Structure 1
Amino acid sequence: MAETKFDMIVIGAGPGGYVAAIRASQLGMKTAIVEREHLGGVCLNWGCIPTKALLRTAEVYTNMQHASAYGLKAENITFDLDAVVQRSRKIAKQLSGGVSYLMKKNKIEVIMGEARLKGANGSGPAVVVKGQDGKETTYQSKHTIIATGARARTIPQAGLEPDGKLIWTAREAMTPDTFPKRLLVIGSGAIGIEFASFYNALGSDVHVVEMVDRILPAEDKEVSAFARKSFEGQGMKISTETKVDKVEKKANSVIAHITGKDGKTVKEEYDRVVLAIGIVGNTEGIGLEDVGVKVDRGHVQVDEWLSTGVKGLYAIGDVCGPPWLAHKAEHEGVICVEKIAGSNSVHPLDVGRIPGCTYCQPQVASVGLTEAKAKAAGYKVKVGKFPFQANGKAVALGEQEGFVKTVFDEKTGELLGAHMIGAEVTELIQGFGIGMAMEATEEDFFHTIFPHPTLSEMMHESALDAYGRVMHT
Structure 2
Amino acid sequence: MKKHCKVLVIGAGPGGYVAAIRAGQLGLDTIIVESGNPGGTCLNVGCIPSKAMIHAATRFEELSKHADGAHMGISIASQPQLDMAGVVEWKDGIVSKLTNGIGQLLKKAKVERVQGWAKFRDGKTCDVETADGVITISAEHVILANGSTSTELPFMPYGGNVISSTEALQLTEVPENLVVVGAGYIGLEMGMAMRKLGANVTFVEALDRILPIYDKEMTRPIEMWLKKHKVVVNLQAKAKGVVEKDGSTWLQYVDKDGNDQEILANKVLVTVGRKPNTQGWGLENMCVDMDGPFVKVDNQCRTSMAHVWAIGDLVGEPLLAHKASAQGEMVTELIAGQRRVFDPVAIPAVCFTEPEICGVGLTPDEAKAEGIDVITGKFPFAASGRALAMDAGSDGGFVRVTARKDNHVIVGIHAVGAHVSELSGEFALALEMGARLEDIAGTIHVHPTLTEGSFEAALATLGHAIHI
One-letter amino acid of the structure 1 residue matched with residue 358 of structure 2: A
2:447 paired with 1:469 = no
For 1:56, the equivalent position in structure 2 comes to 55
For 2:134, the equivalent position in structure 1 comes to 136
Deviation at 1:26, TM superposition (A): 1.1
Deviation at 1:239, TM superposition (A): 1.7
Asked if 2 retains the 8 angstrom alpha-carbon contact of 1:59 and 1:361, the reply is no
2:214 paired with 1:216 = no
Deviation at 1:261, TM superposition (A): 1.8
Asked if 1 retains the 8 angstrom alpha-carbon contact of 2:64 and 2:79, the reply is no
Residues 373-397 of structure 1: per-residue CA shift (max 9 Å, x gap): 1110111111111111111111111
Asked if 1 retains the 8 angstrom alpha-carbon contact of 2:376 and 2:400, the reply is yes
Deviation at 1:250, TM superposition (A): 4.5
One-letter amino acid of the structure 1 residue matched with residue 102 of structure 2: V
One-letter amino acid of the structure 2 residue matched with residue 449 of structure 1: I
**Whole-angstrom distance in 1 between the partners of 2:444 and 2:410:** 18
Matches within 5 A, 1:370-381: 370-381=363-374
For 1:427, the equivalent position in structure 2 comes to 422
For 2:93, the equivalent position in structure 1 comes to 90
For 1:414, the equivalent position in structure 2 comes to 409
Deviation at 1:251, TM superposition (A): 7.2
* Match of residue 148, structure 2, among 129, 147, 150: 150
Deviation at 1:59, TM superposition (A): 1.3
Matches within 5 A, 1:40-79: 40-67=39-66, 68-74=70-76, 75-79=78-82
For 1:399, the equivalent position in structure 2 comes to 392
Residues 313-359 of structure 1: per-residue CA shift (max 9 Å, x gap): 11111111211111010001011111222213x23232x51111111
For 1:272, the equivalent position in structure 2 comes to 267
Asked if 2 retains the 8 angstrom alpha-carbon contact of 1:166 and 1:253, the reply is no
Asked if 2 retains the 8 angstrom alpha-carbon contact of 1:186 and 1:209, the reply is yes
Matches within 5 A, 1:229-244: 229-244=224-239
Asked if 2 retains the 8 angstrom alpha-carbon contact of 1:10 and 1:34, the reply is yes
Asked if 2 retains the 8 angstrom alpha-carbon contact of 1:35 and 1:111, the reply is yes
Asked if 2 retains the 8 angstrom alpha-carbon contact of 1:184 and 1:270, the reply is yes
Residues 184-203 of structure 1: per-residue CA shift (max 9 Å, x gap): 11111111111011101111
Output the TM-score relative to the length of structure 1.
0.95
2:315 paired with 1:320 = yes
Asked if 2 retains the 8 angstrom alpha-carbon contact of 1:210 and 1:239, the reply is yes
Output the TM-score relative to the length of structure 2.
0.96
2:122 paired with 1:110 = no
Asked if 1 retains the 8 angstrom alpha-carbon contact of 2:88 and 2:172, the reply is no
Question: SS at the partner of 1:107?
Answer: coil
Q: 1:297 to 1:273 in 2, by over 3 A?
A: farther
* Match of residue 353, structure 2, among 360, 366, 372: 360
**Whole-angstrom distance in 1 between the partners of 2:382 and 2:312:** 38
Question: SS at the partner of 1:39?
Answer: coil
Question: SS at the partner of 1:413?
Answer: coil
**Whole-angstrom distance in 1 between the partners of 2:455 and 2:17:** 37
Of stretches 293-302 and 283-292 in structure 1, the one that deviates more from structure 2 is 293-302
**Whole-angstrom distance in 1 between the partners of 2:350 and 2:246:** 37
One-letter amino acid of the structure 1 residue matched with residue 465 of structure 2: V
For 1:383, the equivalent position in structure 2 comes to 376
Let me know the Cα RMSD of the aligned residues: 1.4
Asked if 2 retains the 8 angstrom alpha-carbon contact of 1:367 and 1:429, the reply is yes
Matches within 5 A, 1:327-366: 327-344=322-339, 346-350=340-344, 353-366=346-359
Matches within 5 A, 1:23-34: 23-34=22-33
* Match of residue 278, structure 2, among 283, 287, 300: 283
Q: For structure 2, which runs of at least 5 residues remain unmatched after alignment?
A: none
Question: SS at the partner of 1:218?
Answer: coil
Question: SS at the partner of 2:386?
Answer: helix
Deviation at 1:262, TM superposition (A): 2.0
One-letter amino acid of the structure 1 residue matched with residue 243 of structure 2: E
**Whole-angstrom distance in 2 between the partners of 1:180 and 1:305:** 46
One-letter amino acid of the structure 1 residue matched with residue 116 of structure 2: G
**Whole-angstrom distance in 2 between the partners of 1:335 and 1:189:** 30
For 1:7, the equivalent position in structure 2 comes to 6
Of stretches 442-451 and 259-268 in structure 1, the one that deviates more from structure 2 is 259-268
**Whole-angstrom distance in 2 between the partners of 1:251 and 1:36:** 41
Of stretches 63-72 and 77-86 in structure 1, the one that deviates more from structure 2 is 63-72
2:369 paired with 1:369 = no
Deviation at 1:89, TM superposition (A): 0.9
Q: 1:311 to 1:271 in 2, by over 3 A?
A: same
Deviation at 1:430, TM superposition (A): 1.3
Residues 39-72 of structure 1: per-residue CA shift (max 9 Å, x gap): 1111111111111110110111122122322211
2:157 paired with 1:161 = yes
For 1:206, the equivalent position in structure 2 comes to 201
**Whole-angstrom distance in 2 between the partners of 1:259 and 1:406:** 39
Deviation at 1:411, TM superposition (A): 1.6
Q: 1:162 to 1:376 in 2, by over 3 A?
A: same
Asked if 2 retains the 8 angstrom alpha-carbon contact of 1:50 and 1:89, the reply is yes
Deviation at 1:93, TM superposition (A): 0.9
Q: For structure 1, which runs of at least 5 residues remain unmatched after alignment?
A: none
**Whole-angstrom distance in 1 between the partners of 2:425 and 2:215:** 17
Percent sequence identity over aligned pairs = 35
**Whole-angstrom distance in 1 between the partners of 2:407 and 2:241:** 51
Question: SS at the partner of 2:71?
Answer: helix
One-letter amino acid of the structure 2 residue matched with residue 38 of structure 1: N
Asked if 2 retains the 8 angstrom alpha-carbon contact of 1:200 and 1:235, the reply is no
2:288 paired with 1:293 = yes
For 2:187, the equivalent position in structure 1 comes to 192
Asked if 1 retains the 8 angstrom alpha-carbon contact of 2:174 and 2:197, the reply is no
Asked if 2 retains the 8 angstrom alpha-carbon contact of 1:113 and 1:129, the reply is yes
Deviation at 1:226, TM superposition (A): 2.6
**Whole-angstrom distance in 1 between the partners of 2:424 and 2:114:** 37
One-letter amino acid of the structure 1 residue matched with residue 134 of structure 2: E
**Whole-angstrom distance in 2 between the partners of 1:295 and 1:155:** 23
Deviation at 1:304, TM superposition (A): 1.1
One-letter amino acid of the structure 2 residue matched with residue 187 of structure 1: G
Question: SS at the partner of 2:403?
Answer: strand
One-letter amino acid of the structure 1 residue matched with residue 144 of structure 2: I
Question: SS at the partner of 1:128?
Answer: strand
One-letter amino acid of the structure 1 residue matched with residue 82 of structure 2: F
Deviation at 1:274, TM superposition (A): 0.5
How many residues are paired up?
462
Question: SS at the partner of 1:353?
Answer: coil
**Whole-angstrom distance in 2 between the partners of 1:311 and 1:116:** 19
